[in-house]
Amino acid sequence: MSGAASNSGIHARFRLDYADFSLDVDLQLPGRGVTALFGHSGSGKTTLLRCVAGLERSGLGQLTVNGERWQNNAQNLFVPPHRRSIGYVFQEANLFAHLSVSRNLEFGMRRVPAPQRRVALEQAVELLGIDHLLERMPDRLSGGERQRVGIARALLSSPRLLLMDEPLAALDLKRKSEILPYLERLHDELDIPVLYVSHSPDEVARLADHVVLLEQGRAIAQGELRETLARLDLPTAFSDDAGVVIEGEIASHDAHYHLTRLTFPGGEVLVSQRPEALGQRLRFRVHARDVSLALQRAEGSSITNLLPARVEAMVAADTPAHVLIRLDAGGTPLLARITRRSADQLAITPGQALWAQIKTVALLG
Amino acid sequence: MPLDSVALAAIWLTFKLASVTTLVLLLIGTPIAWWLARTTSRMKGPIGAVVALPLVLPPTVLGFYLLVAMGPNGFIGQFTQSIGLGTLPFTFAGLVVGSVFYSLPFVVQPLQNAFEAIGERPLEAAATLRAGPWDTFFSVVLPLARPGFITASILGFAHTVGEFGVVLMIGGNIPGQTRVVSVQIYDHVEAMEYAQAHWLAGGMLLFSFLVLLVLYGSRLKQGWRG
């Protein structure tokens, strides 16, 4: 089936009205990479994901995924979930309690004709590191293990689109960091487009290439990850958590001070020594609240990460005491959250050149 | 001899009736229970109440209506006559029909509870893993609802074994055809044959106790494991 819409990418237009909630979106999403559906709870991100999967039948609209039409209510077209080539990772794994791990893994795989299988059992087992769990029953797994099995099970149905509904939300911090590397490998090694629902800015910053910001059932912004995170007009979604994501390359290690130097267009930062080899790329987040501004290059300061930058714009922040300033550090966007008083004292104006002092760099890896 | 050929015939008939009834009940009770467990229709309440009626109705009332319905002028009777089966009262088939109505809630309710306990989530997981509705029912719902099916079968069987009023109303007392154990006991007592009545009544008592022991014993075990 080939739709009239473009052949690559995801076109999703949905309307859904409940008594206390409505969803109304019209999205054109890239057909590859990880797209984060980001928003607070109640913003409609899970509902949107369920509409894409066909699990939410009351959602009316159109859905085309890489040229395949899955839904068009105007033409009475609704492909039921089991005929959509999707993989769905549920918030709490949702494994079949009566089947062992290996039978769970085979469930979707066996229902896909052999020629259409693109992920081998061994590959998925290795990718998620669940080799030692195959004979166990789901109730003998930890939360993190269960979630890894759930992800492998979804991959084994060789989906053309992977849908992940806050796969880490039910896990504690330790389990999260146990799974994140597997998700990154997924991203790097398999060429399956992913819709990733999350309310965690860190997860989004670490995994996503593209982000859709949802609020009260509406998409208030979408775009490439770094661009979108650096936008000033979206304070409500990120509020206190405003910040940018920068991808840097490991340029050198300093064995004496145990530091690693990361370079990126427009500057470099020093971070605690990393195990990765030279040339490896790493994402890190710079929170707006961790960036302060100075007119001169500060001498005699303990802050090591200083970047020359140019003021692009300034808006009110989430409190009347603060402002958010968007900076251009040699091609890399930065956000700074400073007090209105400081902004007045520095006489911040667009185009002004100054120094951005970065107190903390949150590495995402 | 404690159990003569008449008694053995009654026991065999009871066993046959309970087996056939349980089988029929599993076949028709499963879709009813599935519908009741999953529907959001406004008919859920009324249908559920109709299914539960035999729990509170005197068996003679149920038997009376069935007798009328299956009789030559009743709607069931006219149907069975039109397809050449004659009328059902005072036949084994009639007893099966009566027992199916009488034991319906004992099969539907455990199944409904089991289906409700499974919930939406495993069904959604199966759907996203390419399993169609029938496939999902057999590969996910049936195995997950197994304890419910066991409970339903045991209760349906045991309740049919213990049936008396409905049998008497629509089956009468025909040896080898409709005279089940409970009716046989009644006959013995009427004829002052207390010794024979004791053997059968004691047997029923033991049977019922064992059934409940198996049922509650297995539930306890499940409780400990979970």
For B68-88, the pLDDT digits (tens) are: 999 999 999 999 999 988 888
Indicate the pTM of the whole model. Answer: 0.80
Phi, psi (rounded to 5 degrees) for A42: 90, 0
Q: Are A190 and A119 in contact (CB under 8 A)?
A: yes
Does the pLDDT at position A204 exceed 80?
yes
Cα A251 to chain centroid distance, Å, stands at 26
B119 to chain A, any CB pair closer than 8 A? The answer is: no
Taking only the tens place, the pLDDT of each residue in B1-17 is 567 888 888 899 999 99
A6 — pLDDT class (breaks 50, 70, 90): very low
Q: What is the pLDDT of residues B26-66, one digit of tens each?
A: 999 999 999 999 999 999 999 999 999 999 999 999 999 99
Looking only at the bridges linking them, the beta strands covering A86-89 and A161-165 are parallel
Q: Which residues of A touch B121 (CB under 8 A)?
A: 90, 94
Q: Tell me the per-residue pLDDT of B150-177, one tens digit each, with 9 for 90 and over.
A: 999 999 999 999 888 898 889 888 888 8
Chosen for mutation from B40, B129, B135 (greatest number of chain A CBs closer than 10 Å) is B129
Residue A201 has pLDDT above 90, yes or no: no
Determine, for residues A154 and B135 on separate chains, whether the beta-carbon distance falls below 8 Å.
no
Residue A357 phi/psi, 5° resolution? -105, 120
The predicted pLDDT at position B197 comes to: 92
pLDDT in tens, A232-277: 666 544 556 788 888 889 999 999 999 999 999 888 898 888 888 8
Asked if the C-beta of B123 comes within 8 angstroms of chain A's C-beta atoms, the answer is: no
Confirm or reject contact between B144 and chain A (CB < 8 A): yes
- For the cut 90, the answer to whether the pLDDT of residue A119 exceeds it is no
Averaged pLDDT of chain B: 90
Q: How confident is the model at residue A78 (pLDDT cuts 50, 70, 90)?
A: very high
CB contact under 8 A, A81 and B124: yes
pLDDT band at A5 (very low <50, low <70, confident <90, very high): very low
pLDDT band at A7 (very low <50, low <70, confident <90, very high): low
Inter-residue contact A29 to A10 (CB < 8 Å)? yes
Residue A304 φ then ψ, to 5°:
-90, -25
Question: Left if phi > 0, otherwise alpha if psi is -120 to 50, otherwise beta: which for A99?
Answer: beta
CA distances from A337 to A204, A238, A356 (A): 21, 12, 11
End-to-end CA distance of chain A: 40
Kindly report the length of chain A: 365
Q: How far apart are CA B9 and CA A356, in angstroms?
A: 98
**Identity of the residue in B125, B130, B144 whose CB atom sits nearest the CB atom of A90:** B125
* Domain-wise residue ranges, chain A: 10-236, 243-363
Within an 8 Å CB–CB cutoff, is residue B125 touching chain A? yes
- Is the ipTM higher than 0.85? The answer is no
Instruction: Report the pLDDT value the prediction gives residue A298, as an integer from 0 to 100.
Output: 78
Residue A260 has phi, psi (to 5 degrees) of -125, 135
Percent of all residues in chain A with a pLDDT value above 90, rounded to a whole number: 47
Task: For residue B140, list chain A residues with Cβ-Cβ distance below 8 A.
Answer: 96, 98
Average pLDDT of span A207-235: 83
- CA distances to A99, A119, A142, A169, B191 from A149, rounded to whole Å, are 12, 14, 11, 16, 69
Indicate the residue of A55, A98, A108 with minimum beta-carbon distance to B129.
Answer: A108
User: For residue B224, what pLDDT is reported?
Assistant: 42
- CATH T-level topology, domain A10-236: Rossmann fold (3.40.50)
| DSSP per residue, A286-346 | EEGGGEEEESS--SS-S--EEEEEEEEEEEE-SSTTEEEEEEEETTEEEEEEEEHHHHHHT
- B7 vs B22: CA distance, rounded Å: 22
| pLDDT recorded at residue B103 | 95
Q: Which of B128, B136, B139, B140 to mutate to test the interface with A (most CBs of A within 10 A)?
A: B128
Query: Of A30, A87, A63, which Cα lies nearest the Cα of A228?
Result: A30
Would you give the distance in Å from CA A337 to the centre of its chain?
A: 23
Range with lowest mean pLDDT among A88-92, A180-184, B23-27, B38-42: A180-184
From A99, A110, A154, select the one nearest A128 (Cα to Cα): A154
pLDDT (tens digit per residue) in A306-324: 899 999 988 888 788 888 8
A&B contacts, CB < 8 Å: 62
Does B193 contact A at CB distance below 8 Å? Answer: no
Give B144's contacts in chain A (Cβ within 8 Å).
96-98
pLDDT at A272: 87
Whether residue B137 has pLDDT greater than 90: yes
State the CATH class of domain A243-363: mainly beta
Of residues A205, A204, A104, the one with CA closest to residue A155:
A104
Q: What is the CATH number of domain B5-221?
A: 1.10.3720.10
Question: Strands, E, within A39-119: which ranges?
Answer: 60-65, 68-72, 77-78, 86-89
Q: Residue B225: is its pLDDT beyond 60? A: no
> What does the pLDDT read at residue B104?
96
The CA-atom distances, in angstroms, between A240 and each of A135, A236, A319 are: 45, 9, 9
pLDDT tier, A1 (very low <50, low <70, confident <90, very high otherwise): very low
Rounded-to-integer distance, Cα A251 and Cα A75, Å: 56
The closest CB to that of A82, out of B121, B132, B144, belongs to: B132
pLDDT tens sequence across B93-136: 999 999 999 999 999 999 999 999 999 999 999 999 999 999 99
- Can you tell me the distance from the alpha carbon of B174 to that of B186, in angstroms, rounded to the nearest whole number? 13
